[in-house]
């Protein structure tokens, strides 16, 4: 459970049959300028119910997040 004072942002990056990728982020309380990113991979059954979930956690500053975004979008046509 996350503390209610955190300004958590969450969105679904990709969803398909049997699969969903959600991203959740917030600024950590210390040190300033560091952000938490959770990549949440979910396996769904035929009814869309989560059967399995894996969370990959990263702590990045704004520059690192920008490089990550640019790298991901570089290969998008």
User: Mind listing the domains of the chain with CATH numbers?
Assistant: 9-74 (3.10.450)
% residues pLDDT > 70 (the chain): 99
Would you say the C-alpha torsion 71, 41, 25, 28 has a positive or negative sign? Answer: negative
pLDDT tens track for 37-64: 999 999 999 998 999 999 999 999 999 9
The Cα 20–Cα 61 span in angstroms is: 25
pLDDT at 3 (0 to 100): 82
pLDDT at 77 (0 to 100): 61
């Amino acid at each position: 459970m996350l503390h209610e004072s955190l300004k958590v942002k969450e969105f679904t990056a990709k969803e398909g049959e049997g699969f969903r990728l959600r991203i959740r982020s917030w600024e950590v309380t210390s040190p300033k300028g560091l952000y938490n990113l959770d990549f949440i991979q979910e396996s769904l059954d035929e009814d869309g119910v989560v059967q399995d979930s894996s969370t990959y956690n990263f702590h990045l500053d704004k520059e690192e997040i920008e490089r990550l975004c640019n790298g991901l979008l570089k290969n998008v046509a």
